[in-house]
Amino acid sequence: MYIGMLTDYVSVEFCNGPALASQSFRRNMEGRGHQVSLVGPRPVAREAEGDALLFNSLRFRQYATTALAMPWPRRNFTDCPPYDVIHAHSNSLSMHWALMMRHMHGIPCLQTNTIHLPAFAHHAVPDALLNNRISGRFFEFLTRYVENRFCNIYSQSDGLVVQCQGLVDYWRNIGLDVPLHIIPRPIDLRVFDRPLGEDPFNPAFRRGGRLLVACRHAAEKSLDQLLRIFARHVLPRRADASLTLIGDGPVHNSLKKLARRLGINHRVDFVGEKPHRDVPVWYANADVFSYPSTSETFGQVTSEALWMGLPVVGFDDGMGVAYQVKNEQNGLLVQTGPGCDERFGEALLRVINNPRMRMRFSENARRMQRELVHPEVVYKQYEDAYAMAAENIKANPPALRAKSNLGRRWSMFKDHVWPWAWKHMVLSAMGSIPANYKPKTEIPFDAAPDEVVQQLTTQELAHAGPSLRVIAGGDGLVARDFPLPESPRRLHAR
């Protein structure tokens, strides 16, 4: 199968979950015998590698100089691409391109939604404006408008991929009536199933009280809330507790200043951005992954922590975190609302003060996450979704193909090219003021590990038994057996 993967990040220019997911998707699907072409905006700082179809792009400086694809050059629309299916893993207006290829050339397309608009609006707009009687109504109207625009695009596709049950409920309530597929992001086995190095933590931060969080340092991640929870509800009751933050971003410096104001900088370590391949050793040597974000539609770092057997304490967001963290099984979920900071602190203390609980959560986390996000499970789900999309376009052929050539061109311009162009130009203008934060592009986030995992053949799998041995641990390697996904076609193992 020849797959066109439409993405907003054709190359990994900074630490970004969708960009890493696109590259991992290409590697794994090609490993399963498919051909993959990445379709998206021309990168800002790095060249696109491999098979790619690129659009000219504008810059959105306020978000790490992200590129916004524009509807040109013209040949990207007039020429029929050779794809068997188009998977639009994009939440920008470039997802119009997938619909145009469906309408004009009869190529089945799947869309992907990774944004929960109400949560995004809550973090993108100050509470004072949202709670104001006049401006609040305006932003409520704007949210409904954007929801309806997205719903209109998705409804013309052959299916929608989401990453948690909460998004299924969200779009069904809005009225979307197309096939919906819950397909989480898979783990990159090259990075997460390999021997680990030495303990990287500050030597003053002893095992047993290590809290860890890894994510982009942006306002929607609520890391300022986590610092206050640690200062007011954890450290006074557990003086040897520590908090380590991996990452960088627009609010990185303000978070460091807040830690100093709270008087906790001696027990807080900002270790900065780390290459993706170096992150697993941090998970393996921590005690609890403390994640306060309520804006996640999946939460890749939550998935990675659980894969490494690190218990997670997070808020019950009804979305990505709650989809992965099962309360009292592989972590603890805290209800939001009044008093949630104190409850979150108590949950952190429960886990770090109870080694047996941590061990039980750890064992469950490893097992449950392999059942959920092992590549063999995830990419088989993609293949099934593509097959369903091909059946859907047969049952619902594009109506515009019956129109005259001029009629098709006018409809494509009016419904897709024009709204795509003017809305992206407005976004680019709104984000034209340079931000104080510039992402580090020299860090090889997607660099392949020196020791590449070995792929077992089908014959070798037949003699491998019903489980996969996973090696993890810092100072001493620990080997544990976990059940393989059902009917594996190919499996990475050591």
Contact criterion met (CB below 8 Å) for 40 and 7: yes
Supply the pLDDT for residue 422: 93
Token representation of residue 131: 């709670």
Same structural domain, 49 and 156: yes
Domain membership of residue 447 (yes or no) is no
Same structural domain, 339 and 194: yes
Pairing of strands 288-291, 210-214: parallel
Identify the bridge partners of residue 88 per DSSP, sorted by sequence position. Answer: 6, 111
pLDDT digits (tens), the chain, 494 positions: 999 999 999 988 877 778 888 989 999 999 999 999 999 999 887 788 889 999 999 988 767 678 899 999 999 988 999 999 999 999 899 999 999 999 989 999 999 998 887 777 666 666 677 778 888 788 888 888 889 999 999 999 999 999 999 999 999 999 999 999 999 999 999 899 888 999 999 999 999 999 999 999 998 899 999 999 999 999 999 999 999 999 999 899 999 999 999 999 999 999 999 988 899 999 999 999 999 999 999 999 999 999 999 999 999 999 999 999 999 999 999 999 999 999 999 999 999 999 999 999 999 999 999 999 999 999 999 999 999 999 999 999 987 655 677 888 888 999 999 999 999 998 888 777 766 777 777 777 776 655 444 443 334 333 334 444 333 333 333 434 444 444 333 233 22
Same structural domain, 65 and 36: yes
Q: Where are the beta strands (DSSP E) in 351-395?
A: none
Range of the domain at 467: 454-493
Supply the pLDDT for residue 61: 76
Domain membership of residue 470 (yes or no) is yes
Residue 111, domain CATH: 3.40.50.2000
Question: Which residue has 């971003």 as its token pair?
Answer: 249
Domain membership of residue 349 (yes or no) is yes
Same structural domain, 288 and 300: yes
Question: Of 345, 372, 399, which residue constitutes the final position of a domain?
Answer: 372
Same structural domain, 245 and 176: no
User: Quick one: CA dihedral 414, 415, 418, 422, positive or negative?
Assistant: positive
Question: Of 324, 354, 372, which residue constitutes the final position of a domain?
Answer: 372
Same structural domain, 387 and 418: yes
Same structural domain, 368 and 381: no
Domain membership of residue 437 (yes or no) is no
Contact criterion met (CB below 8 Å) for 293 and 215: yes
Count the domains in the chain.
Answer: 3
Domain membership of residue 103 (yes or no) is yes
Supply the pLDDT for residue 350: 98
Domain membership of residue 116 (yes or no) is yes
Supply the pLDDT for residue 372: 97
CA distance 149 to 143: 10
Supply the pLDDT for residue 488: 34
DSSP letter at 43?
P
Supply the pLDDT for residue 126: 65
Which pTM does this prediction carry?
Answer: 0.86
Same structural domain, 106 and 248: no
Same structural domain, 361 and 257: yes
Pairing of strands 52-55, 288-291: unpaired
Same structural domain, 356 and 391: no
Domain membership of residue 303 (yes or no) is yes
Strand ordering across the sheet containing 268-272:
268-272, 242-246, 210-214, 288-291, 312-315, 331-334
Strand ordering across the sheet containing 52-55:
52-55, 35-41, 2-7, 85-89, 109-112, 160-162, 180-182
Q: Please state the φ and ψ torsions of residue 56, each to the nearest 5 degrees.
A: -65, 155
Token representation of residue 260: 């100093």
Same structural domain, 415 and 395: yes
Same structural domain, 333 and 237: yes
Identify the bridge partners of residue 468 per DSSP, sorted by sequence position. Answer: 482
Question: Of 372, 393, 409, which residue constitutes the final position of a domain?
Answer: 372
* CA contacts within 13 A on the Cβ side of 386: 20
Domain membership of residue 52 (yes or no) is yes
